[in-house]
Amino acid sequence: MSSAGTTPTQYQLFIDGAWTDPAGGEWFDTVEPYSGEIWARIPRGKAADADRAIRAAHAAFTAGPWPALTATQRATLLRKLAGLIEDNADHLGRVEQRDNGKLITEVRGQVLNIAQWFYYYAGLADKVGGDVIPVNKPGVINYTRFEPLGVVVAITPWNSPLSLTAWKMAPALAAGNTIVIKPSEHASASILELARLAEQAGIPKGVVNVVTGFGAEVGDPLVRHPLTRKIAFTGGNAGGQKVSEAAASDFKRVTLELGGKSPNIVFDDADQDQAVKGVIAGIFAAAGQTCMAGSRLLLQDSIHDAFVERLVALTREAHIGDPSLPETQLGPIATRQQWDHVMRMINVAKDEGARCVLGGHALQGEGYGQGQFVAPTIFTDVNNQMAIARQEVFGPVLSVIRFKDEDEALQLANDTEFGLAAAVWTQDLRRAMHCVEKIQAGTVWVNNYRSTSFASPFGGYKRSGTGREGGVDAIKEYMQVKSVWITPSPRRDNPFVLG
Ligand code: NAD
């Protein structure tokens, strides 16, 4: 399907179990963020490719081996795929690392973790039972059964392509659906490699399809296709809104995992050592390019200055550079477009009067590849109405906001259109539990940051999205319930009265 060599690897689409060229015969370049090299060429799918893929997925859902398999047999195939992911973790990790510039240390962990997502949902595949319902009608049996939806379209962003695909693909397939995956135009290669493993695992043709290309050109036709039954989208709010509106016109199911402006609240009674590390992990991991980035540090007045001093000192020690080296702690920004956005937001913050106490500039020269780096940046004197406190930056930029007491911390934490995640650092259990209750976010961490698991739901309140990924209930996001009424011995007297 791809040819390695001195020239860039040229990929193909994966539709109906075959590696195929895009109908329009066009490819686009994908650039390694660190070196700036064009390392792969990605097929530029269009509406005709979307149509082919959806029709293939629909055919595989309605006929052929997939619908004939029991849930237990589907689970066996998913376990096989999980094993292949583990066997190929190094290769998958290197491809993704090259594609989006994420640290190799983080990507390796993520790849092993996605295998766990497939094992977990394989385990659930044959455990979704309905109920026998004690309806108030003599001689009638009523029960429910959960059935798959049909063709699921998964649309993912560039920051964690493999993880965010697995979060959708594992429950969708475990539930018995078929899938068309549309990865980000900035990071598609690892998803095409994953499709190769699905093929090797023996997942029947048409069950997994990958079409690459741009959102408007191929994503939109996938969403609007009349045979699409559900869209699972992760990305920015603008794209999420378009997808949601397009899906609504045809009453399609949608889950949306969108942006965030997550508060990381540090109280004066917190373990300061751990809190400083947690704040750094929250904002500088993945160079801030995560939806759950703790981009607003809410800091209690009484510890503000000393805490900022420690934070700045520890952040200064970060190893910044080539993300393929194991010692690197902060890598480049994934795309030039995103780098421009981060730099623009830094300048806006300066213009608004925020005080830059660390970074605030690009990093160029030796050790910084072709220069798509932003220095880890900390702004103090931020107020919660500034653009830097309200808009998602998706880069290594932290806004520090002061608060007096618990009430003010909670008011600031919730004064945002987003509600993806939040953290609270305190040793006072009462205070922690009060914050957990009052914070409007889909995830709240106490004395840690960025923990997630296939076994636990993840998703947003407010404008951070709808629906949940992960955990037992998420498989039902890919199923519909049927209520079945059985009358073993019908005895109807009056046909005009409801039974
Ligand atoms: P994006 O919205 O630009 O793109 C995401 C995907 O949507 C891409 O595959 C893109 O091609 C596609 N797309 C765009 N417009 C479309 C349309 N009209 N129809 C169909 N598909 C369309 O996002 P991005 O820049 O790739 O990723 C960054 C964003 O993702 C950030 O806002 C971040 O917060 C968010 N994100 C959220 C989570 C989460 O779980 N909540 C996780 C990671 C990233």
Residues 403 and 465 both lie in one domain: no
Q: Is residue 257 within 8 Å of residue 459, measured between CB atoms?
A: yes
Instruction: Compute the chain's Rg from CA coordinates.
Output: 24
Q: Is the CB of 185 under 6 A from ligand 1?
A: yes
Residues 55 and 201 both lie in one domain: yes
In a domain, 455, yes or no: no
In testing the pocket of ligand 1, which one of 96, 153, 158 has its CB within 8 Å of the most ligand atoms? 158
Give the domain CATH number at 161: 3.40.605.10
CA distance 56 to 394: 36
352 is catalytic: no
Residues 133 and 31 both lie in one domain: yes
Q: Is residue 96 within 8 Å of residue 107, measured between CB atoms?
A: yes
In a domain, 156, yes or no: yes
Residues 310 and 284 both lie in one domain: yes
Q: Is the CB of 420 under 6 A from ligand 1?
A: yes
Residues 378 and 430 both lie in one domain: yes
Residues 437 and 466 both lie in one domain: no
Residues 312 and 412 both lie in one domain: yes
In a domain, 336, yes or no: yes
Give the domain CATH number at 303: 3.40.309.10
Q: Which amino acid, residue 174?
A: A
In a domain, 59, yes or no: yes
Q: Is residue 185 within 8 Å of residue 42, measured between CB atoms?
A: yes
Residues 441 and 476 both lie in one domain: no
State the Cα angle at 254 between 468 and 263, rounded to 5°.
45
327 is catalytic: no
What is the domain extent for residue 269? Answer: 263-446
In testing the pocket of ligand 1, which one of 180, 225, 228, 243 has its CB within 8 Å of the most ligand atoms? 243
State the Cα angle at 79 between 76 and 85, rounded to 5°.
145
Domain count of the chain? 2
pLDDT by residue for the chain (499 residues), tens digit each?
Answer: 434 446 899 999 999 999 999 999 999 999 999 999 999 999 999 999 999 999 999 999 999 899 999 999 999 999 999 999 999 999 999 999 999 999 999 999 999 999 999 999 999 999 999 999 999 999 999 999 999 999 999 999 999 999 999 999 999 999 999 999 999 999 999 999 999 999 999 999 999 999 999 999 999 999 999 999 999 999 999 999 999 999 999 999 999 999 999 999 999 999 999 999 999 999 999 999 999 999 999 999 999 999 999 999 999 999 999 999 999 999 999 999 999 999 999 999 999 999 999 999 999 999 999 989 999 999 999 999 999 999 999 999 999 999 999 999 999 999 999 999 999 999 999 999 999 999 999 999 999 999 999 999 999 999 999 999 999 999 999 999 999 999 998 888 888 887 6
Q: Which amino acid, residue 327?
A: E
Residues 173 and 267 both lie in one domain: no
Q: Which residues contact 28 (CB under 8 A, 6 or more apart)?
A: 41, 42, 44, 185
CB neighbourhood size of 108 (10 A): 18
In a domain, 497, yes or no: no
- pTM to 2 decimals? 0.96
Residues 268 and 252 both lie in one domain: no
Through-space distance between the first and last CA atoms of the chain, rounded to whole angstroms: 59
Residues 295 and 317 both lie in one domain: yes
Q: How many helices (H) and strands (E) does the chain have?
A: 15, 23
CA distance 487 to 139: 6
Residues 253 and 369 both lie in one domain: no
In a domain, 492, yes or no: no
